[in-house]
Amino acid sequence: MPGGTVGTAGLGVPAALERALETAGAAEVLSGYLHTWAADFLRSLRLHEESSGGAQTAPAAAEAVRQLRAAARRIGSALLTYRPLVDAAWADELSGELRRLSGTLAREYRCAARSARLLGALHRLTLEGVGG
């Protein structure tokens, strides 16, 4: 609406985002949103790096991969949704990279889950062999 505001009632907008939209412009809200998800992405990346490589840390690594993928998908979706507020070429390029990363992380998550199941089965078989 020219000169007016567009309401978000009934759109499923979180209350915190609703309050932010009331006091700041769309660019500031988008910037804060992207900053939050980028920080989450970096935390998950560090957790993944710290938990990779060992059978004991496989569940933590799988969770880190899940969080990385979620953050990548959120950032990519926000860039596409709010493309008019950012440099379109940059948003398109970054969104494409994030989509590819998300696909890679999905495969890694499936492999980590499969590995955890196989390690659990191996552990049970080892215990049965020792006890039986």
Pull the structure tokens for residue 28.
């500031």
For 11, phi then psi, to 5°, come to -100, 0
pLDDT digits (tens, 9 = 90+) for 121-130: 988 998 887 7
Break the chain into its structural domains and give their ranges. 36-131
pLDDT digits (tens, 9 = 90+) for 29-78: 888 899 999 999 999 999 888 887 776 777 788 888 899 999 999 999 99
- Whole-structure pTM value: 0.69
Q: Is the confidence at residue 1, as pLDDT, over 50? A: no
**Mean pLDDT, residues 87-98 taken together:** 94
pLDDT at 123: 86
Pull the structure tokens for residue 13.
């907008």
Averaged confidence pLDDT in the chain = 82
- Residue 108 to residue 20: CA distance in whole angstroms: 36
- Residue 63 to residue 40: CA distance in whole angstroms: 13
